[in-house]
Amino acid sequence: MPTKKKPTDLLIPPRGMHDILPKETPLWDKLIETTREIADFYNFSRIETPIAERVELFERGVGETTDIVEKEMYFLKTKGGDRLVLRPEMTAPVMRSYLQNGLHRLPQPQRLYYFGPAFRYERPQAGRYRQFHQFGFEIVGGDSDPVYDAEIIAASYRLIESLKIKPLIIEISSIGCRICRPGYRKKLIDYYRGKEICRDCARRLKTNPLRLLDCKKEACQPIKADAPSILDSLCSPCRSHLKQVLESLEEMGLPYTLNPLLVRGLDYYNRTVFEIFVQEEVVGLALASGGRYDYLAEMIGGRPTPGVGVAGGAERIIELMMARRDEIKLPKPRVKIFLVHIGDLAKKRSLALIEEFRRSNIGVISALGKNSLSEQLETANKVGSPLALILGQREVYEESIILRDMQTGVQESVPLKKVVEEVKKRLK
């Protein structure tokens, strides 16, 4: 028998998922708009992929031994028997779309950006949700030129910075390539073998040794600190790639620190990996992170295609924007006039009048659900309308309307026919 839930349970959203309320949406709009502006400046075009994808896309693309694929995916089984997942990230879907839709036949590289929800079944905690939103920039195709890595970092850095979140620091490293990574992997395994490590690390040692450097457990920290650095194992093309990325960052005046312990939790990265943090805030929460993924296309069954990208966490950034609300310039709501009605006849006539204002692009607020004059005028004051229009029964009969200057209280009657014109004059 299904257990009977208390009625209030229905009112709580699923664990780790949240509502975005009207008081927060101006900040969301600001973030989305700023993303659009930055994307426009750096010439990224918007791409949208479905919320659900086939399981294999992430198993192969993100990697079967990553936390995301091992523990955090939301599975769906369709009636037709397809196994789908709610996308845990957007890079693999963007690459799938690029390959499937022939974007490789367009001028290369393709510069793409997105903004939307993603899903991970992880333990909800401060700043982490199961349904969260990401913005991202991707440069796909063309050459594996280090300047693209720098451009991706710059776009995400400038976006966050222009939301008054600073000072920012970029942590960056290289995780090498197919040529040099196996050697480092071996060094790491040799180093870790026989050491006292946590259970997760013992497992990583077998499945995904690079992720040993990801361990957050206290006991593993001293071992991690003395581990061989990947930077000493890079092959010469990888070393030169990293050097050129760093030089480009310097050229653009972007501050970075090299952090050889930075391995990102996804299999598709090669060479450049980076994370962007705000200083003096909660430690360990990156606002944006990304890297180069030259092997991803092949991993999901496409032709070899270089790529580099970044994804940023909208919820974390919104939280920081909240704290800076006064500094952030939000678009001013447009001035609207207030339409007051007295009586049923006027209420009805108001509907047509509102449409007339809409056609003339004049903003109107009305309180058609409220009938008392004083209540309506009070609302007009609260919303700060400079001008109220009062339509009573007599006015409807006389085809006129009263204009009331809300600041001075001065009223005058004008013919209904001319009201749009008169309002336009006064709003100037």
State the Cα–Cα distance between residues 400 and 256, nearest whole angstrom.
67
Residue 65 DSSP SS3:
coil
Supply φ then ψ for residue 192, to 5 degrees.
-80, -25
Nearest approach, Cβ of 379 to Zn ion (angstroms)? 60
- Is 106 or 179 the residue whose CB approaches Zn ion more closely? 179
Stretch that binds Zn ion, among 100-108, 159-167, 207-215, 285-293 (CB under 5 A): 207-215
- Is 218 or 280 the residue whose CB approaches Zn ion more closely? 218
Nearest approach, Cβ of 84 to Zn ion (angstroms)? 33
Sequence-distant (≥ 6) Cβ neighbours of residue 314 within 8 angstroms: 28, 31, 115, 132, 133, 134, 135
- Is 89 or 294 the residue whose CB approaches Zn ion more closely? 294
- Is 177 or 364 the residue whose CB approaches Zn ion more closely? 177
Stretch that binds Zn ion, among 45-53, 90-98, 217-225, 417-425 (CB under 5 A): 217-225
- Residues 168-187, one symbol each (x = binds Zn ion by CB under 5 A, - = not), give --------xx-xx-------
Residue 286 CB neighbour total at 10 angstroms: 18
State the Cα–Cα distance between residues 16 and 139, nearest whole angstrom.
31
Nearest approach, Cβ of 99 to Zn ion (angstroms)? 24
Q: 228 with 212: CB under 8 angstroms?
A: no
Q: 130 with 119: CB under 8 angstroms?
A: yes
Nearest approach, Cβ of 14 to Zn ion (angstroms)? 31
- Is 169 or 231 the residue whose CB approaches Zn ion more closely? 231
Q: 181 with 271: CB under 8 angstroms?
A: no
Told to check if 202 binds Zn ion by CB under 5 A, we report no
Q: Which of 69, 201, 210, 390 binds Zn ion (CB under 5 A)?
A: 201
Told to check if 198 binds Zn ion by CB under 5 A, we report yes
* Positions of E strands within 351-410: 363-366, 387-391, 400-405
- Is 20 or 202 the residue whose CB approaches Zn ion more closely? 202
Q: Which of 220, 245, 262, 391 binds Zn ion (CB under 5 A)?
A: 220
Nearest approach, Cβ of 241 to Zn ion (angstroms)? 8
- Is 111 or 181 the residue whose CB approaches Zn ion more closely? 181
Beta strands 363-366 and 336-341 are parallel
Stretch that binds Zn ion, among 45-53, 95-103, 201-209, 377-385 (CB under 5 A): 201-209
Supply φ then ψ for residue 306, to 5 degrees.
-70, 155
Told to check if 426 binds Zn ion by CB under 5 A, we report no
- Is 198 or 227 the residue whose CB approaches Zn ion more closely? 198
Q: Is residue 167 reached through a cis peptide bond, with omega within 30 degrees of 0 on the bond before it?
A: yes
Q: How big is the site for Zn ion, counted in residues (CB under 5 A)?
A: 11
State the Cα–Cα distance between residues 34 and 163, nearest whole angstrom.
8
Q: 177 with 237: CB under 8 angstroms?
A: yes
Token pair, residue 276, equals 């962007």
Told to check if 209 binds Zn ion by CB under 5 A, we report no
Token pair, residue 354, equals 């509102």
Stretch that binds Zn ion, among 20-28, 210-218, 345-353, 360-368 (CB under 5 A): 210-218
Told to check if 367 binds Zn ion by CB under 5 A, we report no
Told to check if 261 binds Zn ion by CB under 5 A, we report no
Q: Which of 155, 160, 215, 249 binds Zn ion (CB under 5 A)?
A: 215
- Is 179 or 368 the residue whose CB approaches Zn ion more closely? 179
Buried b or exposed e, range 381-411, using 16+ CB within 10 angstroms: eeeebebbbbbbeebbeeebbbbbebeeeee
Told to check if 235 binds Zn ion by CB under 5 A, we report yes
Q: 233 with 173: CB under 8 angstroms?
A: no
Stretch that binds Zn ion, among 34-42, 199-207, 341-349, 405-413 (CB under 5 A): 199-207
Contacts with Zn ion, residue ranges (CB under 5 A): 176-177, 179-180, 198, 201, 215, 217, 220, 235, 238
